[in-house]
Amino acid sequence: MSDETLERSTLRKVAWRLLPLIGLGYLISYMDRVNISFAAPQMNAQLGFTASVYGFGGGLFFISYALLEVPSNLALAKVGARRWLARIMVTWGLVAMSMALVRTPLQFYAVRFLLGAAEAGFFPGVIYYLGLWFPHAYRGRAISRFYVAAPLASVVMGAVAGSLLGLDGHFGLRGWQWLLIAEGAPAVILSIVFLKLLPDRPADAAWLSPEQRAWLEARLAADDAAVAAPEHSQLRALLRPEVLALVAINFLYLGPYYAFTLSAPTILKGSTGLDAAHVGYLVAAGGLTGAAGMAAIGWSSDRLRERYLHLAAPLVAVAAAFAVLAWSPAPPVVMVAYLAMMAGYFAVSGAFWLAPSEIVHPRAAAVTVAAINGLGQVGSFVFPWLWGLAKDSTGGYHAGMSLLPVAFLAGAAIMLGLRQARHTPAR
């Protein structure tokens, strides 16, 4: 077998064995963290939650998530991805279903905080895990194919939310309770599948031939040797300016997006005049454009071996789309801007996690990815909370919407500065 044939057959087999399963897990996790956006109109009306209560509780997920990202990834690196990712899934699934039991703001805050703690480490754990299987030249496509589950989660939610909310009154449960229970249960079931089918490393993959395992391990070792020397302390890697720049960018693009997303069905319904079912279809269409944007950016970034402009350009595009969403009164324009925003946002997401592996050594990757994700997720608490306060203070979403483009433009500016610094020779 030629080297080229061996390379192609090995990576094709790895991709088909790992990415669909991991992608399904992430689809469920993304759905469980944001499905309250569809439950919110019924839930808030029944329980009497204000926009401030809802925004604060919605954002609390990301505080516990951020606090436990690094400890979770340290545990994953120690006990193995198979057992740790399965543990994460079963706990978040049970907590997600318990959201249907909340009755007071304090209970809402507690369950959202626990949900973030339960899910902490899943996403950065998967990013670290994929680095154990895919060489650098293929990592962009691998991450984009797994991460495409995030926009596809919007397709699933948009397609089924109306039906689940329509179960209002069955067996004494409200529609929002049916939604949360039905979308939390799959995580518990899938945790068993992860435990049985997910190998920790190429050496554990019985479905690879000895020749394929040897080639893959040699290729990954060569890639690792080409990266910067390992830090004497993994935690010291977190203080590098490039890592801090990635933390800031993650903060500036995640927080504003989640502030919008947690209220997106309500905003789109008001600005387009669509009913709840058709808003669901629009959200589903946004998931498809997001998937397309993510796939395109992953392919292009790998092909050109360029990461920074592939991040800065979609950040600017998202800023423009949010500006249109904030200021345009025309429903057709709002719909197009929403679809464009989803494509741009998930294009950013598809390329962002390629940068850490080119900055730090793989020995520090688990902690670095977890820290970038965890600290960046603090923005996903801050922005929804401020968003809710602005809504209660002004009576509308316009003030919050008007600030979103600023955050994305700031992220683009930092990314361009990071690109300049990485391409400027040291004196």
**Tens-place pLDDT, residues 23-37:** 899 889 888 888 888
Taking the domain 13-201+216-423, which CATH number applies?
Answer: 1.20.1250.20
* More confidently predicted of 337 and 355: 337
pLDDT band at 301 (very low <50, low <70, confident <90, very high): confident
Mean pLDDT over the full length of the chain: 84
**pLDDT tops 80 at residue 45:** yes
Check pLDDT > 70 for residue 279: yes
- What does the CA dihedral 78, 79, 82, 85 come to, rounded to 10 degrees? -80
* More confident of the two residues 256 and 395: 256
Burial class (CB in 10 A: 0-12, 13-18, 19+), 155: buried
pLDDT of residue 427: 45
Residue 310 has pLDDT above 50, yes or no: yes
> Where do the domains of the chain lie?
13-201+216-423
Please report, as a single letter, which amino acid is at residue 287: G
Question: What are the structure tokens assigned to 326, written together?
Answer: 């904030």
User: Residue 243's closest CA among 338, 89, 375?
Assistant: 375
Spatial CA neighbour of 176 closest among 185, 187, 165: 165
CA distances 331 to 267, 270, 341, 348, Å, are 12, 10, 15, 26
pLDDT at 106 over 80: yes
> Which among 223, 239, 274, 254 has a CA at the least distance from the CA of 382?
254
Query: Measuring CA to CA, which residue among 304, 292, 305, 212 is closest to residue 12?
Result: 212
The residue-averaged pLDDT of 174-178 equals 91
Model pLDDT, residue 361: 59
Residues in the chain: 427
Query: What residues contact residue 189 under an 8 Å CB cut-off, 6+ apart?
Result: 93
**pLDDT single digits (tens) 318-327:** 999 999 998 8
Query: Any idea which of 57-61, 77-81, 147-151, 361-365 has the lowest mean pLDDT?
Result: 361-365
- For residue 234, pLDDT over 70 is answered with no
Segment 80-102 shows an average pLDDT of 92
**157 pLDDT exceeds 90?**
no
The rounded percent of the chain whose pLDDT value lies above 70 is 92
The stretch 253-263 carries a mean pLDDT of 87
396 token code pair: 């509308």
Res 395 pLDDT > 70:
yes
In 3D space, the residue among 106, 102, 33, 97 whose CA is nearest the CA of residue 65 turns out to be 33
